[in-house]
Amino acid sequence: MSNLVSIKEFEEHAYRVLPRNTLDYYRSGAGQQLTLKQNREAFSRYKIRPRFLRNVEHRDLSTTVLGERISMPIGISPTAMQRMAHPDGECANVQAAQALGTIFTLSTLSNSSIEEVAQAAPHAIKWYQLYIYKDREVTKQLVERAERAGFKALVLTVDAPVFGIRLADVKNKFSLPPHLSLANFQGGKSTDINRKSEEGSGLNTYSMSLFDPTLEWRDIHWLKSITRLPIVLKGILTAEDALLGAEAGVAAILVSNHGARQVDGTPASVEALPEIVKAVGDRVEVYMDGGITDGTDVFKALGLGAKMVFVGRPALWGLAHSGEEGVKKVMNILKTEFDIALGLSGCTKISDIKPDMVVHESFYSKI
């Protein structure tokens, strides 16, 4: 592992070792994958305007998110079915987050249950990613379990009333390996996701059977009525929806295009970030995920107004390499790169990153 020094190298290693069915599920985006490509490339269109001759000897990467102090503004996004990458799956991932002092978000579609993850890392700051299902009782039970297990927030994914078309999954007729299951549904409302679908992806068949395409903003109020946990809206890409979320009383907005897995042709997350930050101001906290592969990406996102960022695929690549240790290495690479970017830009803490330090490349064509 000492020979792997970048997120790209961990990704390349995962491409070599993961089975095709698993690799395609993790790496693919929707449609022709134009947005998937843009999620990364859009960062290159933003430039850092560093300031010099400032004392940057002592730097502090910590921040406070939803009232919790964390070691760095880089957390772990929800990604489904992590035991396809490593036998310890989500348990290894949350243990890495605990060791690093940052936030881990558990996917509803996990191979490790809410209770297993809580037991694996009792001191980690854990958030639970949620869909509102057609059967509201299923949703309510998941929320109650997350509360009992000590999770600190609900991350409501709102950009998936149906699942996007992921051509690789359709071609592979994606299904879970037979020894795995969706652990949060064992003994209750289970699923046929393990069964291959003649029409394509088993995951799409599953989502169509349980996901609710009738969801509206009033369902946010229903969710607030059944939980005391703060709600983070994940999947917001417009100022209009961010404002509706703030008016609905959510605690935070996670700017995200679902890893470019829903609608091909949406903006990169970092492109959508500025209008959302401008719209909601300090009414709610704003985070971002999608396309982050370097610590300079973290700096740019914070300069554009995000309070913190989350990464999904990079943690999976670390997991595929060596479980908990691989995730820790990946996250520490991002942390170190961000720390160096912070210092080389004339900053010693996150609040030093000012809006005029990150600009779109068009800024320079106007000079």
DSSP three-state, residue 15: helix
Give the burial string for 20-50 (b: 16+ CB within 10 Å, else e).
Answer: ebbbbbbbbbbbebebbebbbebbeebeeee
pLDDT for res 19:
96
* 101 pLDDT more than 80: yes
Give me the pLDDT at residue 256, please.
98
pLDDT band of 188, cuts 50, 70, 90: very low
- Catalytic residue positions? 258
- pLDDT tens, residue by residue, 275-304: 999 999 999 999 999 999 999 999 999 999
Q: Say which residues have a Cβ less than 8 Å from residue 137's Cβ, sequence separation at least 6.
A: none
Fold of 7-164+217-365: TIM Barrel (3.20.20)
Give the separation between CA 289 and CA 334, rounded to whole angstroms. Answer: 14
Query: Is the CB of residue 345 less than 8 Å from the CB of residue 297?
Result: no
Mean pLDDT (the chain, rounded): 94
**pLDDT tops 70 at residue 218:** yes
